[in-house]
Amino acid sequence: MSKRDSEARVPLFHLSKRASIEPWKAWLIRVAAVALGLIVCGLVAFLLIEKLQQKPEKIGEFYYTFIKGAFGTTRKFWRFLKNLAVLLCISLALTPAFRMRFWNIGGEGQTLIGVLSAIAVDFYLGGKIPEWILLILMLIAALAAGAAWGVIPALFRAKWGTNETLFTLMMNYVATYLVAYFLVIWVPSGSSSLGKLKNGKLPVIGNENVLIIIVVLLVTAALYIYLSYTKHGYEINVVGESVRTARYVGIKVNRVIIRTMILSGALCGLAGYLIAAGSDQTVTTTSAGGQGFTGILVAWLGKFNPLFMILTAALIQLLNQGANQISQDFGVNNALPNVIVGIILFFVIGCEFFINYEVHFRGHHPEKGAVK
C-alpha cells in the first residue's frame, strides 16, 4: 500500500484537550475571534443592507456605528452605563449559583417577580406613607420575592432531587403570568398598560443613573469578596467542584445550595428593584427584558469572576446598543442587529473551544515543538 493511499484516509485533523495554555495565547485567540467576528459581520451586513451595497465606502461607518450606539452622546453613554449596571447586577446574582453548578436559568423570573413585588408595594402604599419608608418596603418586598423564587427550586432539589434547570425555567413563566394577572387587576379597563407610578422613585444623585451604578458597583465588590474571601464562598466553590469532596469534609451540601439560592434570588430581586424604583416605576411582562438569560451569557463569558464580568457585561451591552444604532442609521429592521450580535457572540463563545482544545492537522505530530 502506498503511503499516499493511507494518508488519504487519515482524517484531516483531530482534536485533543490541552493540558494548559499560556494566558497570552488564550487572549490572542479571544482577540482574534472578536476581529474575525467583526469581519464576518461586515460581510453579512454588506450582503443584507442595500445602503451599503450602493456605497461600499460606508463600511467604515458601519463599524463606527457600533461605538456610536453606546458612546455617541452623553445621554447614550449614561444609558449605556445604567443598562450595563442592571445587566451586571443580574449576572452577578446568577454567579454564586453557577459556581455551585446549580443551573439557575430562572434569573428572568426572579428579577421580574422582584419588579412586580416592588411595584405592588408602590401601587398599594404609594402616597400613603413617607417616600423613604415606601422605598425601603419596596426593597424588602423585591428582595424577599426574588429570594423566594430562587429558593423554591433549591428546596425541591434538596428534598426530592428535582432538576433545577427545568424548575427555575418554569418559575419564569409563573412570574410572567403573575405579572399579567396583576396587570389585569391594576390597569383600568380601556388602558393597555400600567402607567408610570408617581411615587417610589429612587433619589436622584447627579442624574437618575448614578445611584443605580453605585449600588451595582458595591454589589460587584461585595460579591467578589464574598466568593473569594469568605467561608460561604469557599463552600460554594467546593460544592461546585465536587459534591463528594464537600460531603467528605462535612459540608452540608443541601444547606449550602439553599443558602446560595436565597442569595442568588435576592440579588435578582435587587436588580428588579433597581428596574422598578430606579427607572421604570411600572411593570410589564417584559420588564426584565430577557436580561435573566443574557446574564447567564455574561456570567459564563466572565468565567464567574465578578470583576471580569464587568468587561463581558460591557461587551454585550455595547453590542446591543451598537446594533440598535445600526438599525436606526441604516434604516433596516430590528432583526438584522440581532443577527449581528449573534454572529459576534458565536465567535466569542466559539473561541473558548480552541482555548481548551488543540487541533492537530494531518501529518503534524504533537511532540515536535508542541506545548509540553
- Considering only residues 1 to 20 of the shown chain, the ones binding other proteins according to CB under 8 A are 1, 6, 9-11, 14, 16-20
Nearer to other proteins, 30 or 232 (CB): 232
Contacts 24+ apart (CB under 8 A), 280-283: 280/115, 280/196, 281/119, 281/122, 281/196, 281/197, 281/200, 281/201, 282/119, 282/193, 282/194, 282/195, 282/196, 282/197, 283/112, 283/115, 283/116, 283/119, 283/179, 283/182, 283/183, 283/194
CB of 295 to other proteins, least distance (A): 23
CB of 232 to other proteins, least distance (A): 8
Q: Which amino acid is at 209?
A: N
- Considering only residues 248 to 267 of the shown chain, the ones binding other proteins according to CB under 8 A are 248-252
Nearer to other proteins, 169 or 223 (CB): 223
Cell of 77: 453613554
> Per-residue x/- marks for other proteins, 210-249, CB under 8 A?
-------------------xxxxxx--xx--xx-xx-xxx
> Per-residue x/- marks for other proteins, 340-369, CB under 8 A?
--------------------x----xx---
Which residue is listed with cell 453590542? 319
Nearer to other proteins, 51 or 101 (CB): 101
CB of 131 to other proteins, least distance (A): 34
Give the C-alpha separation, 136 to 132, whole Å: 6
Instruction: Report which secondary-structure segment, H or E, holds 58.
Output: none
CB of 186 to other proteins, least distance (A): 42
Nearer to other proteins, 185 or 249 (CB): 249
Size of the site for other proteins (CB under 8 A): 33
Number of neighbouring beta carbons within 10 Å of residue 4: 7
Nearer to other proteins, 124 or 160 (CB): 160
Query: HSE of 152 in the Cβ direction (CA atoms, 13 Å)?
Result: 17
**What does DSSP say about strands 357-361 and 13-17: parallel, antiparallel, or unpaired?**
antiparallel
Contact 307, 231 (CB under 8 A): no
Nearer to other proteins, 130 or 250 (CB): 250
Question: Is there binding between residue 101 and other proteins (CB under 8 A)?
Answer: no
Nearer to other proteins, 114 or 233 (CB): 233
Contact 66, 326 (CB under 8 A): yes
DSSP code at position 57: G
Which residue is listed with cell 423554591? 152
Nearer to other proteins, 53 or 242 (CB): 242
Give the C-alpha separation, 354 to 363, whole Å: 20
CB of 90 to other proteins, least distance (A): 25
Q: Which amino acid is at 155?
A: L
CB of 39 to other proteins, least distance (A): 32
- Contacts to other proteins by CB under 8 A: 1, 6, 9-11, 14, 16-20, 229-234, 237-238, 241-242, 244-245, 247-252, 360, 365-366, 372
